[in-house]
Each structure stands twice: as C-alpha cells, then as structure tokens.
Structure 1
Amino acid sequence: MLGADKGTAGELDGQGLRVGLVQARFNEAITEPLAGACRAELQRLGVAEADITHLRVPGALEVPTALQGLAATGRFDALIALGCIIRGETYHFELVANESGAGVTRVSLDHRLPIANAILTTENEAQAQARQLEKGADAARVVVEMARLLQSLR
C-alpha cells in the first residue's frame, strides 16, 4: 500500500532529473516567455542546465512527434510540451488543440513518461500573455512532481 503522502507535491526536488522540452515556434512571442519561465523554474527546482534538452518545432501539431522522438531515447525522466494556439475564425483552432493534446497524452501513456502539457489554448493573444509565465513555471513543477511519483512506484 502506498503511503498517504504519495502523489502530493511536498518539497519538489529536481536534482538529477533529465527533462526534455519541446517548444512550438508558432506564436513565438508567447512561446519564448513560456519556455523561459519553464526553464527558470526547472533550474530553481534543482534540474541542472546540462540535464535540460530544448527542441523547437514549427507548431503545436509537431510537438507530439518530437516528444515521441525524445521519449524513445529512454534518456528522459519527464518531458514538457510548450506551445500556444489562439482561436481564429475557422475550425482549425479546434483541430490543432484537440489533436496536439491527444498526441501529447498518447506519447505519455505509450512511453509511461510524465509529460506536462503547457500548450496554451486561448481565445486571444491577451489571454495567452496573461498565462504564459505561470503556465511555464507550473509545467516545470508538474513534471518534477510526476517524475518523482513515478520513481517511487518503481
């Protein structure tokens, strides 16, 4: 039986964790600060700069493919998906949001690897700007917590 504190945040310790980030370049004015906040929080939590691999891909639909490539190496304890999808006037928003989200989840489940999905889906650029820093930092905290949780279950 698992202890009562399993699965709770407690003190997050990223020391020794190897983390891969995949950042979509589309909406780069949003995704660069998102990635910066994520990297800063990972380092604050003790993840060494040398243990962070950061890839950039064209857009949110390409993020799951790059995540899958990183996961297949077996070199990572956790991954992070970074991107921004802003609603437009067509159905394309729903397609990109749904398919990128499903792809991220599939990679996580197929590889039994924690992946924080920090692909923002917003109605407008102002909403994205309001969320970019906190969501980036939150993604870092999520992967550290989940990586440690899964390690404790092995």
Structure 2
Amino acid sequence: MRRARFNEVVTKLLLEGAVDTFKRYSITEEDIDVVWVLGSFEIPVVAQRLGKLGKYQAILRIGAVVRGDTSHYDAVANSVASGVISAGLSSGVPCIFGILTCEDMDQALNRAGGKAGNKGSEATLTAIEMASLFEHHLKE
C-alpha cells in the first residue's frame, strides 16, 4: 500500500479505512506494507518499482489531490491517474487507484470517512478482489 504524506489529515483516514477493511477480510497488519511518499505525484513510480519486486499481490495507492487556486491540481491529478495505469501494466501487478481528486477539503474529508463513506475502504475491496482474480483465474 502506498500513501502520500501530503494532505495527511485526509490520507490518514483513508489508510485507517483500508487497514480496517483488510482486517475484516483476515489480512493481518503483518501482511500489509505501508510505504510513505511525499505526495500523490510520487506514488506511481514507487508503486511500479514495488510491483516489479514480485512480492505483492496488489498495490493500493492512497492519496488526496485537492484543487487549489492554480492549475497544479489538473497536472497532478492527470499525471497520477496515468501513472497508476502505467505502473500496473508495466509491473503486471494490480495497481488500485485509491487517490481522491476533490474540489475542496470538505469534499475530501467527506470521502475519507465522512458522509460519502471511506474511499480507502472501497479501494481495499477492489485490491482484494483483483488479487483474488489474478491468483485464481489469471495465474501464469
């Protein structure tokens, strides 16, 4: 699992939701590696490298990109989305996009455990399902 330190108030909640969901599916904390990166922009290259290690069944990316007053948001959000796809394709490991792209901090907090649920938890379910699919149906 990769988690960005930037927007930590949000990403911490996403991580908590992800870990809780893994535990509900009998995946122990010892089987979860959390790697910290500075921001969401750095997630794809780290995930690609980790995927190529051959040690993970899925890589869950958690982060939050919140729109500000500049076009920086668009560049980061688009680059991260493209990088997540590229990392999964080049490493052969399911790379799950658990990165919020929000208009403001209220929206981000609502999607990190507020009234819109916890998207970290939802992304974890996708990671579990994709790991199972690869293990049971797409094994080489």
TM-score range, shorter chain: over 0.9
Percent pairwise identity: 34
Letter in 2 for 1:124: D
Q: Which amino acid aligns with 1:153?
A: L
Q: How high is the TM-score relative to the length of structure 2? A: 0.92
Structure 2 match to 1:7 = none
1:143 equivalenced with 2:123 (yes/no) = no
Distance in structure 2 (CA, Å) of the matches to 1:32 and 1:38: 10
Task: Count the aligned residue pairs.
Answer: 134
Q: Which structure is larger by alpha-carbon Rg, 1 or 2?
A: 1
* Greater than 4 Å deviation, 4+ residue runs: none
What is the rounded CA distance, in whole Å, between the counterparts of 2:104 and 2:41 in structure 1?
19
Structure 1 segment 89-128 matched on structure 2, within 5 A: 89-128=69-108
Of the three residues 39, 50, 53, the one matched with 2:30 is: 50
**Partner in structure 2 of residue 153 of structure 1:** 138
How far did residue 153 of structure 1 move?
2.1
Q: How does 1:68-83 map to 2 (within 5 A)?
A: 68-83=48-63
Q: Distance in 1 between matches of 2:43 and 2:121?
A: 19
Q: Which position in structure 2 is the counterpart of 1:61? A: 41
Is this contact kept in 1: 2:48–2:90, CA < 8 A? no
**Structure 1 alignment gaps of length 5 or more:** 1-20
Gap runs ≥5 in structure 2: none
TM-score by length of 1: 0.84
Amino acid at match of 1:86: V
C-alpha distance in structure 2 between counterparts of 1:139 and 1:121, whole Å = 14
1:35 is matched with which residue: 4, 12, 15? 15
